[in-house]
Amino acid sequence: MTPGARLAAAIELIDDIACGNAPADRRIDAYMRRRRFIGSKDRQVITERVYGLLRRRRRLDWWVERAGLDAKTRTRLVADLVMTDNIGKTEINDIMTGSKYDPKPPSPAEQRLITLLTKDKAAIDHPDMPPDVRADCPAWLWPRFEGVFGDRTVEEMRALNEPAPFDLRVNRLKAERDAVLADLKPLALGAQPTVLSPIGVRLGQRWPVDRIPAFKDGRVEVQDEGSQIVGLLADALPGLRVVDFCAGAGGKTLVMAAQMQNRGHLVACDVHAKRIERSVLRLRRAGVQNVERHTLSSERDPWVKRHALGFDRVLVDAPCTGTGTWRRNPDAKWWLKQSDIDELTALQARILDSAQRLVKPGGRLIYVTCSVLTEENEAQIAAFLGAHGDFAIVPVPKLWPDTVGGTCPVTDDMLRLSPGRHGTDGFFAAVLERRVP
């Protein structure tokens, strides 16, 4: 593909992502599947451009609007070529030719934008930018993030805007971390032990997992370090009865199954049958034998009432805004609405209220989100405890030595992980125990 054709594909893709209801990675995959003629190198360049424009969108818009133009995909792209690629009018006109596959040439207004940015030798960051712009954060969400991170907000939001590292989780049913690290060494991927998770490996570069032997034979799975940690905090010991109430495709189910060493009973539940089915291959590859899959009709499925007070551990990895995963899904920040938060917090409360019925006296309810918003996390737990006086918080620092090991990175009772402070996705976890009468 010509450089211009790559830009045209990026513009088409971003507009496609904006019109769809699926995350950017899925829209990109679908786009590429429909265009098999696009080679691997071209796919990489197009994808990097799309994600780059999504990550830099707020700062690019600031420059475009400063020049008196409307912020649209094309004008953002033109500004990005000047400010990120460091090229000028001649090079841009050579790329945007209007030929068969190239974008149309820059309009007179876009030419003025190029001239302005080139003349000023503008860097994408500018001292006059408000902090929310410098952090590439939607303005309406900025006060919420300030309430969580305080004077670290810009730092945390910038970290949340960087590409995520490539983490693997070692499956202790089949391997130990040192052996996996030794097996990865010949691939020269810069594999290192994760700092917090005792079962994690961080690669120095992205790599197709189907070209990693340890993945193909079930010794490792792809999973963010933070996700590994919240799975370990469930403390799913061998012989226990455990429920993963919102199991999805089974990432944390796999963590707990390995903790249990295939001893005990682990039920993976979800309201989406297709998500549960996607876990089948992963469970088989991992050598897991103690998992039962169950599709729920809703969070109030009669199955819950029939199994009331029957489980030692109930993990609720609740549906959430996913604000802690913006490193992977930078598009999500631009489509999130207040109504989404309202609907999700109401759903989270209903799920917690139902799932708690499964917890036996002395058992634990573990609430997890990949959100950094207070209303989905601490506020949710406060409301739950206010309605369920037979539950109490088990402080994470108390659990950490026996479940994760090493030094606990927090001193609060509940766990908050963030990319700026811990190098993980943003995660929240609270462990609640039902009192014995």
In the chain, what are the domain boundaries?
3-124, 166-222, 225-434
Cα–Cα dist 229/200, whole Å: 9
pLDDT at 428: 98
pLDDT at 389: 96
Cα–Cα dist 189/197, whole Å: 19
Which residue shows structure tokens 């729920």?
296
Cα–Cα dist 6/42, whole Å: 7
Give the type of residue at 209.
Answer: V
**CB-side neighbour CA atoms (13 Å) of 299:** 17
CATH architecture of 225-434: 3-Layer(aba) Sandwich (3.40)
Which one-letter DSSP state was computed for residue 271? S
pTM of the model: 0.94
Host H or E run for residue 432:
strand 427-434
Q: Please, which residues bridge with residue 156 across strands? A: none
Cα–Cα dist 39/58, whole Å: 30
**CB-side neighbour CA atoms (13 Å) of 133:** 15
pLDDT at 17: 87
Residues classed as catalytic:
370
List helix spans (H) across 287-358: 302-306, 332-335, 338-355
pLDDT at 383: 98
Cα–Cα dist 169/228, whole Å: 7
Q: 275-294: b or e for each residue (b if 16 or more CB lie within 10 Å)?
A: bbeebeebbebbebebbebe
What is the mean pLDDT for each group of 10 consecutive residues in the chain (437 residues)?
93 86 86 89 94 96 94 94 93 93 94 89 88 96 97 96 97 97 96 98 94 96 98 98 96 97 97 91 96 96 97 98 96 94 98 98 98 98 98 98 96 98 98 96
pLDDT at 256: 98
Neighbours of 186 (CB within 10 A): 8
Q: How far is CA 326 from CA 31, 191, 337, in A?
A: 21, 24, 15
CA 3 to chain centre: 31
pLDDT at 384: 98
CATH number given to 166-222? 3.30.70.1170
Q: Where are the beta strands (DSSP E) in 115-218?
A: 166-170, 192-193, 200-203
For 234, phi then psi, to 5°, come to -65, -25
Cα–Cα dist 178/28, whole Å: 35
